[in-house]
Homo-oligomer: A and B are copies of this chain.
């Protein structure tokens, strides 16, 4: 079994994903997410494909029913993303109903697909003849890309060949039009690039890779077409080899980068890879929320200016979090640098995980780091999760990533003849895979991220020396490690970010990693204007937030301030109502009452009555990703910091 992004044998890839023979998430957060994904989210998504008309659109295209096309032009993509989610779930265990859904939908797509391979219900039903006439907005190749990804998932998960057949015919058609054809068009919404490379990895058809490469190179030359938000919004202002930074629509930009790295990896194009990696560094340094959320400006859903990261207003679209993880995963494979896994963890456990309610029913599209007490009253547009959306990209972006999560836990590499198994993410999992000249079995047991102890037991191992590499997150300042050879050794990461244990391993050998989860206060860079004078609370990989429901004595979250020498008491809950297992953090804090002057919320420095009043209170924080499961009150991540 393999997951998303599996470079070919000839790809230039420092790491490779595991080809799993057996795997099971045996507990903890990832397992909780996957269980709710299967039991609640995926069935609900399938219902919505009926209610919103996505499947009917395809049935009309197939000539099976009458009716009018419903929804935005990219309705097919939701079907494909749910199909992909279903495929990953079927990889975990059999499910006749889910298998039947996959089967019947493949049927439907075969019937809807036109003779020349074209498949898009909007253009077949609502705008016949409009095919490829307004690529800047049509999402035709975007939808095709999601079909390819669904087909690749179904093939990797269930050995399906029918969806793959539909995808191949569509890809062949696209190659004829966009590779052999006269018009140098490309889609206003990148996505097909990474999908074509993945399809190439399954089919071995060089034209799939060639088309992906051509589309990547074609971008940034003003060929996308005119759009009200301009060329930058569609990443069409500079070629991908030249653009210094991510600009424009965040999800578009991030999907494009996944495709850029895929093409670079398969073609061995080091300078193309370097260009993408440079943009990743710029994004991390200047445009990334503490939660990993990306795309700070709501208008246009774009990356904003450098350091424009308002906690209340940042959009941080759920799809952008998912796309960021996909891009970072590809960079991790290409380079073997742990910093990409660090960002995956930050994004996954914070911005991404916060999108879905704990019960798996509702989603945020935008994931701000603050919600004010009057958010509903002020503009009548309460900032809460919803089951589905007119533009429903985000829910199935969650289900397809959660469905394939175990594939992001580990990678393998070989350097100077030493095979190495890298544990990239920590969760309770058992896995078995081909490794070196034999097979490797590992059992990971941990309560991470609630506790910092990670026990790794070798259950099966090839003979001869090999290395176990453990990613050491940079926030873990006092990391210790117990190995069969030594107990309690201080750990430092190597230049790539891993603690590497090279030895001959026997079944039963156990390593225990002790990560340092001491709660810490995090300060923003002074250029991040919107959170100046604030600190955030982090514990291990988790960003914390203060929700109104947890505060005592009616203290308003918006009046809370922390002291620089704040000490946190950890309060573990086995099953906090509405939230599940968690570790809350409790501390002494101050409630600050501000002053007005002449009725205005401003006052002269040094003027009379000029000191804001403070009183001591107790404040409680919970992990950000668990917010808004207990009412729609105020929430904030960045807390005012009292003068030290």
Contact digits for A267-306, partner B, Cβ 8 Å, 1 yes 0 no: 0000000000000010011101010000001111011111
Kindly list chain B residues whose C-beta atoms are within 8 Å of the C-beta of A595: 525
Q: Is A176 an interface residue (CB 8 A)?
A: no
Q: Which residues of B contact A596 (CB under 8 A)?
A: 285, 525
**C-alpha spacing A372/B310, complex, angstroms:** 14
Q: How many copies, total?
A: 2
Across the interface, A247 reaches (CB within 8 A) one of B380, B477, B525, B558, namely B380
Complex interface: stretch among A439-447, A530-538, A622-630: A530-538
In chain B, what residue has the closest Cβ to A604? Answer: B520
User: Which residue of B231, B285, B535, B594 is within 8 Å of A600 (Cβ)?
Assistant: B285
Question: Which chain B positions have C-beta within 8 A of A520?
Answer: 604-605
Residues from chain B with a CB closer than 8 A to the CB of A379 are 232-233, 247-248, 297, 300, 302-305
How many chain A residues sit at the interface, stated as a range, is 35 or more
Could you tell me the distance between the alpha carbons of A285 and B297 in the complex, rounded to whole angstroms? 27
Q: What B residues does A307 contact at CB under 8 A?
A: 372, 558, 601
Report if A494 contacts B (CB, 8 A).
no
A286 and B596 CA atoms in complex are apart in Å by: 10
Choose among B290, B305, B532, B559 the residue that contacts A375 (Cβ–Cβ < 8 A).
B305
Given contacts A237-B380, A247-B380, A378-B306, contact A523 B602 (CB under 8 A): yes
> Which of A558, A602, A607, A643 has most B Cβ within 10 Å?
A602
Residues of chain B within 8 A (CB-CB) of A474 are: 597-598
Task: Please report the C-alpha to C-alpha distance between residue A374 and residue B521 in the assembled complex, in whole angstroms.
Answer: 30
Q: Which of B230, B380, B523, B601 contacts A288 (CB 8 A)?
A: B601
Alpha-carbon distance between A305 and B383 when the two chains are bound, in angstroms: 12
In the bound complex, residues from chain B placing their C-beta under 8 Å from that of A601 are 285-286, 288, 307, 309, 524-525, 527-528
* A-to-B contact residues, CB < 8 Å: 229-233, 237, 247-248, 281, 284-286, 288, 290, 297-300, 302-313, 339, 342, 370, 372-375, 377-381, 474-475, 477, 520-536, 558-559, 561, 564, 592, 594-607, 610, 612, 638, 640, 643-644
Extra contacts, 14 of them, besides A286-B601, A305-B312 (Cβ < 8 A), are: A229-B380, A233-B380, A247-B377, A285-B599, A297-B379, A308-B372, A309-B601, A339-B599, A342-B598, A525-B595, A529-B534, A533-B534, A535-B605, A643-B644
Cβ-closest 8 pairs across A and B: A533-B533, A525-B601, A232-B380, A521-B605, A532-B533, A525-B594, A526-B594, A305-B378
